[in-house]
Chains A and B, each alone.
Chain A
Amino acid sequence: MYRYDQYDLELLEQRTAQFRDQVARRLSGALSEEEFLPLRLQNGLYLQRHAYMLRVAIPYGTLSANQLRVLAEIAERWDRGYGHFTTRQNVQFNWIHLEDAPDIMDRLAEAEMHAIQTSGNVVRNITTEQFAGVAADEVMDPRPLAEILRQWSTMNPEFAFLPRKFKIAISSSATDRAAVKAHDVGLYLYRGEQGEALLKVLVGGGLGRTPMLGTVIREALPWRHLTTYVEAVLRVYNRHGRRDNKYKARIKILVQALGADAFSTEVEREWEQIKDSPATITKAEYLRVAAHFAQPPYADAEGDAAIVAAQRQASPAFARWCRRNVHAHQVAGYACVTLSTKPGMAAPPGDVTSAQMRAVADWAEQYGFGEIRVSHEQNLILPDVRQRDLYALWQEAEAAGLATANIGLLTDVIACPGGDYCSLANARSIPVAQAIQARFQNLDFLHDLGELSLNISGCVNACGHHHLGNIGVLGVDKNGEEWYQVTLGGNQGLEAAIGKVIGRAFRAEEMPDVIDKIVATFCTHRAGDESFSETYTRIGLAPFKERVYAQEGV
């Protein structure tokens, strides 16, 4: 993974010193709350319902074992012993005191971490997929370009006060596991006919109040022009994006207003002026950064497959875990393992305790090369596990409550913190998620249902990506009461789609029954081994709607 050199460290030291001074000026009253607000947001600090929340950046979801231990320490020293992993591959602490924030930043900086631009109207954490560099279906490793883009966007002076937040994702596999189409700028990295590295650039995706998928504005952009092209997009957006209405300020609204073609023309015109500027990426820089992502010293592990096959035979529970939580690796005899943070009633989706973080850090060293990933589905990943170690890891993860065999299944619920913490939320997310998880505890049944994503957001800001869930749940406020609106047919990945609202909203206590009826409808109409989304595509919304609302008025 990327390690800081003297420049990265010095910049971070200057940033933490600046932030410490800003907090002191806020506490003394020299800075008003209005003036302090964007400054603290650009350092990841939100004021929530009960306390400050600190969102720590995990660039493209990659952590070292040591960094995860530091997060565990922060959770214990300054929070309540746990952290919440987010759909932007970051981690949040929910019970922070403003006075402590500068010390936390210093502790993070010692471990080459920070909270820069995890919030505010700036370029946010660059995300990619959780299996970058190890996925069997990978075309190219997207991490070097993600890191180059991270550095380019970090404290970029021209784009620190954009009309609205700005999210960028990059992916380079047969499958898109980074929700690229739901980003302000989405990037697909691929090989051209001569083997050259090219980018397909999408603009104007985003969820929130007006969900949209990104539109392609540029094909075959040579990799070395990535930063100048993004600069052109941002300059057009910074100048022309709406600032009169917060809800119409995302770039998608500008792209829609101008039309994708006109927007693209505008970007190309701007890009012509800067395309060979010094920001153009060099071979030397690519190689310098890529060296940090070089393959670790893998062992010859070809024999491992036979060992694990025998163990799967012997233990159905282990076999089930392997089916859902173990993923193909580029190197024979190795595997990627997803540790589920979705045990059901035991903990809210994405929440991990300090003790669990330390255990995961230990496993990363014992069974891998000391690295951990965070997925945008809020789970933790060990990217390089030898297959002969899977059984031992499974047993330890089981004991630590991190081995629920439900990755990609209905109970692998993606949920924002919701009304229990967030002051933006209209409704709570966690109790609804847990009530649904409790209803579907039978693992055999869940496995039979197959791939089925359930996403819950507590408000239209859509941190739970509810539009992209096969089943989406959105908390809404009706006369001061919490209600939940259900959408069906959402999808992430290359076949990304935005779900459709099924009908009138429900009360929290109705939700498990509603999901039950949706699942029952799927089972009735399912042909063979179809996935939920395949069945939905075939039969449409109507049969689900009919069943869900059948007893009304009886």
Chain B
Amino acid sequence: MKHIIRVLPAGADIVVDEWLLLHDSETALSRLAEHAMQRVILPLPLWRTLRDGTESFDPSSTGVWIASDDEYEDVACELLDLPLIAVDFPSFRDGRGYSVAYLLRTRYGFRGELRAIGDVLRDQLFYMRRCGFDSFEVRADKDIRDALKGLAAYTIRYQGSVDDPVPLFRKRAEAAPSLPDEHWEP
């Protein structure tokens, strides 16, 4: 049984993965039929095809995964209703997924599960979490219990992001009296 890391209000934990990730658009259709009863994560191009086609599929048990060079913004508003969006990291050094996550959460207001898939490793989890991911499919050859430690690395952050949009300096200022700001120049 496959496991993922899931961040819930109670904290981050290792849980059973209830989704089936269909990597390949070519074979996904036939596999979709095989797994008719299961929750599946479709490649974005296949999701587009199904959406435009006649075959019905259940949006409540369908997720979509976005490749790092997929154009998704034209359909972003439709993706908001999905229970899950996954963002692929073809290599952990490819940082596009961080901006995709940031935009899905802040610009489009996606509230469902946002999952990092692909080359997902312990030492990047903290940054991914900050950008709005709340579930992580850690690379299969890695120890997922070890990876969980990656979320606990820091309690201080200078800048705001999805997890906490208020930068440290505004918290520092809470202790100090606030100053009228509007037209002040250094």
With A22-B123, A158-B99, A283-B179 as given contacts, are A151 and B169 in contact (CB-CB < 8 Å)? yes
With A154-B158, A158-B131, A283-B179 as given contacts, are A238 and B168 in contact (CB-CB < 8 Å)? no
* Least CB distance, B109 to chain A, in whole angstroms: 13
With A160-B127, A288-B176 as given contacts, are A238 and B99 in contact (CB-CB < 8 Å)? yes
With A35-B123, A140-B186, A285-B169 as given contacts, are A152 and B158 in contact (CB-CB < 8 Å)? yes
Residues of B within 8 A of A286 (CB): 186
Residues of A within 8 A of B155 (CB): 10, 14
> Complex Cα distance A158/B130, Å?
8
> Complex Cα distance A38/B93, Å?
8
* Least CB distance, A291 to chain B, in whole angstroms: 11
* B25 close to chain A: CB less than 8 A: no
**A284 & B178 in contact (Cβ 8 Å cutoff):** yes
Cβ contacts A to B, 17 pairs, < 8 Å:
A7-B156, A11-B157, A14-B154, A14-B155, A18-B154, A35-B92, A151-B169, A158-B127, A160-B127, A161-B124, A223-B185, A223-B186, A238-B95, A279-B167, A283-B180, A284-B169, A288-B173
Contact with A along B84-118 (1 / 0, CB 8 A): 00000000111110111010000100000000000
Beta-carbon contacts under 8 Å, A21-44 to B: 22, 30-31, 35, 38-39
> Complex Cα distance A238/B166, Å?
22
Residues of B within 8 A of A156 (CB): 158-159, 161
Number of A-B contacts (CB under 8 A): 133
* A553 close to chain B: CB less than 8 A: no
Beta-carbon contacts under 8 Å, B107-163 to A: 107, 121, 123-124, 126-128, 130-131, 146, 153-161
* Least CB distance, B119 to chain A, in whole angstroms: 9
**A238 & B93 in contact (Cβ 8 Å cutoff):** no
> Complex Cα distance A410/B156, Å?
47
**A284 & B156 in contact (Cβ 8 Å cutoff):** no
> Complex Cα distance A195/B184, Å?
11
Contact with B along A449-479 (1 / 0, CB 8 A): 0000000000000000000000000000000
**B165 & A277 in contact (Cβ 8 Å cutoff):** yes
Residues of B within 8 A of A227 (CB): 159
**A7 & B131 in contact (Cβ 8 Å cutoff):** no
> Complex Cα distance A284/B161, Å?
21
**A277 & B160 in contact (Cβ 8 Å cutoff):** yes
Can you name the residue of chain B whose Cβ is closest to the Cβ of A162? B95
Within 8 Å by CB of B179, from A195, A243, A284, lies A284
Can you name the residue of chain B whose Cβ is closest to the Cβ of A287? B179
| A18, A39, A148 pick with most chain B CB within 10 angstroms | A18
Residues of A within 8 A of B124 (CB): 160-161
**A155 & B157 in contact (Cβ 8 Å cutoff):** yes
**Chain B residues at the A interface, C-beta cutoff of 8 Å:** 92-96, 98-100, 102, 107, 121, 123-124, 126-128, 130-131, 146, 153-161, 165-170, 172-173, 176, 178-181, 184-186
With A10-B156, A140-B186 as given contacts, are A283 and B181 in contact (CB-CB < 8 Å)? yes
* Least CB distance, A272 to chain B, in whole angstroms: 11
Is chain B's interface secondary structure helix, strand, loop, or mixed overall?
A: loop
Residues of B within 8 A of A238 (CB): 95-96, 98-99
Number of interface residues of A (CB under 8 A): 52
Can you name the residue of chain A whose Cβ is closest to the Cβ of B129? A157
Residues of B within 8 A of A31 (CB): 123
* Least CB distance, B138 to chain A, in whole angstroms: 13
> Complex Cα distance A442/B170, Å?
57
With A152-B167, A157-B130, A290-B186 as given contacts, are A282 and B159 in contact (CB-CB < 8 Å)? no
* A159 close to chain B: CB less than 8 A: yes
Residues of A within 8 A of B99 (CB): 158, 235, 238-239
**B160 & A278 in contact (Cβ 8 Å cutoff):** yes
* A197 close to chain B: CB less than 8 A: yes
> Complex Cα distance A157/B186, Å?
29
With A14-B153, A223-B186 as given contacts, are A160 and B173 in contact (CB-CB < 8 Å)? no
Residues of B within 8 A of A15 (CB): 154
**A7 & B172 in contact (Cβ 8 Å cutoff):** yes
**A35 & B94 in contact (Cβ 8 Å cutoff):** no
> Complex Cα distance A378/B179, Å?
40
**B186 & A7 in contact (Cβ 8 Å cutoff):** no
* Least CB distance, B141 to chain A, in whole angstroms: 10
Can you name the residue of chain B whose Cβ is closest to the Cβ of A160? B127
Can you name the residue of chain B whose Cβ is closest to the Cβ of A154? B158
* Least CB distance, A506 to chain B, in whole angstroms: 38
Can you name the residue of chain B whose Cβ is closest to the Cβ of A31? B123
Given A11-B156, A235-B102, 12 more contacts at CB 8 Å? A15-B154, A35-B123, A156-B159, A161-B98, A197-B185, A238-B95, A238-B96, A279-B159, A282-B169, A282-B170, A285-B169, A285-B170
**B176 & A284 in contact (Cβ 8 Å cutoff):** yes
**A279 & B158 in contact (Cβ 8 Å cutoff):** no
Residues of A within 8 A of B165 (CB): 277-278
Can you name the residue of chain A whose Cβ is closest to the Cβ of B164? A278
> Complex Cα distance A144/B169, Å?
13
**A18 & B153 in contact (Cβ 8 Å cutoff):** yes
**B154 & A278 in contact (Cβ 8 Å cutoff):** no
**B176 & A121 in contact (Cβ 8 Å cutoff):** no
Beta-carbon contacts under 8 Å, A237-294 to B: 238-239, 243, 273, 277-279, 281-288, 290
Residues of B within 8 A of A144 (CB): 186
* Least CB distance, B85 to chain A, in whole angstroms: 17
Contact with B along A145-176 (1 / 0, CB 8 A): 00010011111111111110000000000000
Residues of A within 8 A of B158 (CB): 11, 151-152, 154-156
* Least CB distance, A529 to chain B, in whole angstroms: 39
> Complex Cα distance A213/B183, Å?
34
Can you name the residue of chain A whose Cβ is closest to the Cβ of B143? A30
Within 8 Å by CB of A160, from B95, B100, B121, B170, lies B95
Residues of B within 8 A of A516 (CB): none
Within 8 Å by CB of A152, from B98, B153, B159, lies B159
Residues of A within 8 A of B179 (CB): 282-284, 287
Residues of B within 8 A of A288 (CB): 169, 172-173, 176
> Complex Cα distance A192/B176, Å?
30
Can you name the residue of chain B whose Cβ is closest to the Cβ of A30? B146
